[in-house]
A and B are shown apart, each in its own frame.
Chain A
């Protein structure tokens, strides 16, 4: 087929482009994803028994996770559209990681030396590494679906951004279950869990995003 014919075919009776209401779509996606994750927690693991008494630490952990998601948002939305520089958006993510690292150190120095290890590791295997990615999955699936209707051109980067964003959402839900309230634990292992989500997104997501 000749290219001129194709142009003809595309141009004839062209319809006005839809105004992409991506802000609304994105907001709905994230809320639905968070609701799904909370549901998974409530049904699968059960909210921690002392959630009433532990309201403050739970809130703090949820806020920290929400901040992680918020830091990913500008990057993710920027990657939806082709040919736009990323600029400070990558830097914002790095700054967040750096702040978390500093917070970890400060919190650990505040602990008595013999308690440091427990405060950092939470006294056992950090289960958030497994559970946060699982809780992030619904959001990630929805985000992938949303992203496919746009035109991401840097697939690995986009996959990572989607992964980390859904990781933040998953961690928000996870904080309702997570029994460990040590600051150093959260600023280390939540960040690692979210980074794991980003890695999963970069490898699996990038394949699914191809168009």
Chain B
């Protein structure tokens, strides 16, 4: 985690992977019968752990920090679910359950959310995060400066986080 905080990609990936496994267990235990909700929450929490990683104080246990955020996301989810259940469900087409639902496939489609970002941020995230280009390559390809790209990615991810939250609320 500390190496991940320092910007080391492999360490950060390892942390997120391990966190995902722990979080999956945590949410599945508490949301029995709704594994796809649990997976949504795993993803929401991962994004929260990532975007708010500077709220972690390295002097204290990592798991306490992680589970506090997970618990917060869970309460938030239940609160939204309760609000939703107050609304009338009459005449609401909820569609057929998808039989080919993969267990680790969450409901929301990131590409759809990505397309709602400003174009610059979309491009930056696509190139660097999805197409594995370096920041410099992305800067050359788009004509923006490198710091422009970095800022776009940062802002874009923040907006994405918010959109993910909203998508979960509807």
- Interface residue ranges, A against B (CB under 8 Å): 1-20, 80-84, 150-151, 153, 210-211
> Cβ of B92 < 8 Å from any Cβ of A?
no
Please tell me if the beta carbons of B104 and A4 are within 8 angstroms of each other in the complex. yes
Instruction: Kindly provide the distance from the CB of B89 to the nearest chain A CB, expressed in whole angstroms.
Output: 25
Instruction: Evaluate contact between B69 and A153: CB separation under 8 angstroms.
Output: yes
**When the two chains form their complex, are residues B20 and A3 in contact, meaning their CB atoms are under 8 A apart?**
yes
In the complex, B109 has a CB within 8 A of chain A: yes
Q: Is the CB of B128 within 8 A of A81?
A: no
Given A6-B47, A150-B55, A151-B55, A13-B106 contact (CB < 8 Å) = no
- State the majority secondary structure of interface residues on B: helix
The answer to whether A12 touches B69, judged by C-beta atoms less than 8 angstroms apart, is no
A14–B15 alpha-carbon span in the complex (Å): 12
**What's the least CB distance linking A133 to chain B, in Å?**
27
A151 touches B105 (CB 8 A): no
How many residue pairs link A and B with beta carbons under 8 A? The number is 118
State whether the Cβ of B153 lies closer than 8 Å to any Cβ in chain A.
yes
Q: Which 5 residue pairs across A and B have the least CB separation, nearest first? A: A83-B68, A16-B7, A82-B68, A83-B64, A11-B13
Q: Give Cα distance in the complex from A14 to B56, angstroms.
A: 16
Q: Which of B7, B47, B76, B125 contacts A14 (CB 8 A)?
A: B7
Asked if A15 and B7 make an inter-chain contact with CB atoms under 8 angstroms apart, the answer reads yes
- The residue of chain A having its C-beta at the shortest distance from the C-beta of B75 within the complex is A153
Question: Separation in Å of the B60 CB from the closest CB of chain A?
Answer: 6
Chain A residues with CB under 8 Å of B9's CB are: 11-14
The answer to whether residues A1 and B72 also contact, given A14-B9, A82-B55 and a CB cut-off of 8 A, is no
Q: How many residues of B contact A (CB 8 A)?
A: 56
- Is the CB of B102 closer than 8 A to any CB of chain A? yes
Cα(A11)–Cα(B51), bound, Å: 11
Interchain CB contact (< 8 A) of B110 among A5, A18, A82:
A5
Contact yes or no, A81 B56, CB < 8 A:
yes
Q: Does B139 lie at the interface of the complex (its beta carbon under 8 Å from any beta carbon of A)?
A: no
Given A2-B105, A6-B47, A80-B55, A11:B65 Cβ within 8 A: no
26 CB-based A-B contacts, threshold 8 Å: A1-B106, A1-B111, A3-B39, A3-B104, A3-B106, A4-B17, A7-B13, A7-B20, A11-B12, A11-B13, A12-B132, A13-B9, A13-B134, A14-B4, A15-B7, A15-B154, A17-B7, A17-B53, A18-B54, A80-B55, A81-B56, A83-B67, A151-B72, A153-B71, A153-B72, A210-B76
List, in ascending order, chain A residues with CB within 8 A of B46's CB: 3, 6-7, 10
CB distance from B15 to the nearest CB of A (A): 8
Query: Could you say which residues of chain A place their CB within 8 Å of the CB of B155?
Result: none
Instruction: Please determine whether A1 and B109 come into contact, CB atoms closer than 8 angstroms.
Output: yes
The answer to whether residues A84 and B7 also contact, given A6-B43, A153-B68 and a CB cut-off of 8 A, is no
Q: What is the CA–CA distance of A4 and B43 in the complex, to the nearest angstrom? A: 9
